[in-house]
C-alpha cells in the first residue's frame, strides 16, 4: 500500500479546472518531483493534498485512510505538511518563534528546534533574527524547518528554488540531501529540470492539469521529459526551458 495515494483527482478554480483526473501514488521514502510549465496544476495539486484547496472529485488517501474531506489542520497532525510557494513566514517573529509555532499541530517525533538547526546549518547564526531580515535562502530553510517541526510523514515542497540565488539554492538542496538520505518522503515542485531529475526517485510531469508522463527518474530520458513538459509530438522543437 502506498503512503500517499491520489485517485482521479479533479480540482477547480471557479470555472477553471486546474487538475484533471490525476492519479499518483507515493511510497514511503520516495522523492517525487512534480514538473511542468507555469499553470500546469502543480501548486493546486499540492494544495489539494494538504487540504488547502477542496477538490471537486476524486480521493486522497494517507496510508489507506481517506483524508479527502479532512480539514488542513487535521492533515498536519496526521502527517501531511506543506511548504507553500512564497514561504508564508511571520516576518515580525524570529526564526525560532516561527519554528515553535508548528508545535501546536505536531505529531510525536524526533524533530526539534535543535535538530532543525543541525539540518540547516545556515540558520544557526540567525536563530534569533526576525524572519523579515533573512535572505531568501534563509527564509526557505526556515519554512522547511517549520514543516519538519510537525514531524510529517509526507513533506510537500512547492517551488523550492523560486526566487533564490544559485548559491542559496545549493545551500537549501545540500540540507535536503540529508533528509533524503535519512529516508524522508517528499513531493516537490521544481522548475529546475536538471536538479529535479537529480534528486527525485520518480518524476511526474503535468500539462494543463493532467499527468502526461510518470516514471522512475533513471528510466525516463531528458528528451521524454522535455516532450511531455511542452506537450510536443516527436520531432517538434521545444522552446527554451530552465534546465
Task: Express as a percent the part of the chain with pLDDT over 70.
Answer: 95
**Residues 131 and 89: beta-carbon distance below 8 Å:** yes
Give every CB contact of residue 201 below 8 A, 6+ residues apart in sequence: 30, 31, 32, 216, 217
Q: What is the Cα–Cα distance from 122 to 129, expressed in whole angstroms?
A: 12
Domain ranges of the chain: 4-230
What pLDDT does 233 receive? 57
Per-residue pLDDT of 15-58, as tens digits, reads 899 999 999 999 999 999 999 998 999 999 999 999 999 999 99
Q: Which contiguous run of DSSP H or E holds residue 229?
A: helix 222-230
- Residue 62: the pLDDT is 98
**4-230 has which fold?**
Rossmann fold (3.40.50)
Output phi, psi for 207, to 5 deg: -145, 120
Amino acid at each position: 500500500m502506498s503512503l500517499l495515494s491520489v485517485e482521479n483527482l479533479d480540482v477547480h478554480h471557479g470555472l477553471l479546472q486546474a487538475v484533471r483526473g490525476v492519479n499518483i501514488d507515493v511510497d514511503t521514502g520516495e522523492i517525487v518531483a512534480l514538473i511542468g510549465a507555469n499553470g500546469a496544476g502543480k501548486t493546486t495539486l499540492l494544495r489539494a493534498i494538504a487540504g488547502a484547496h477542496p477538490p471537486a472529485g476524486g480521493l486522497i488517501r494517507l496510508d489507506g485512510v481517506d483524508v479527502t474531506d479532512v480539514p488542513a489542520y487535521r492533515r498536519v497532525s496526521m502527517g501531511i505538511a506543506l511548504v507553500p510557494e512564497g514561504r508564508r513566514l511571520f516576518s515580525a517573529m524570529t526564526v525560532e518563534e516561527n519554528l515553535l509555532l508548528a508545535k501546536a499541530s505536531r505529531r510525536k517525533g524526533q524533530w526539534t528546534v535543535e535538530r532543525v538547526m543541525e539540518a540547516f546549518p545556515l540558520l544557526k547564526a540567525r536563530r534569533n533574527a526576525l524572519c523579515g531580515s533573512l535572505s531568501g535562502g534563509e527564509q526557505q530553510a526556515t519554512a522547511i524547518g517549520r514543516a519538519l517541526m510537525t514531524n510529517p510523514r509526507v513533506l510537500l515542497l512547492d517551488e523550492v528554488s523560486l526566487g533564490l540565488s544559485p548559491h542559496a539554492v545549493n545551500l537549501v538542496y545540500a540540507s535536503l540531501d540529508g533528509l533524503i538520505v535519512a529516508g524522508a518522503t517528499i513531493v516537490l515542485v521544481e522548475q529546475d529540470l536538471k536538479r529535479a531529475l537529480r534528486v527525485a526517485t520518480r518524476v511526474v510531469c503535468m500539462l494543463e492539469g493532467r499527468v502526461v508522463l510518470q516514471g522512475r527518474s533513471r528510466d525516463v530520458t531528458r528528451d521524454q521529459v522535455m516532450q511531455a513538459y511542452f506537450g510536443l509530438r516527436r520531432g517538434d522543437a521545444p522552446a527554451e526551458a530552465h534546465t
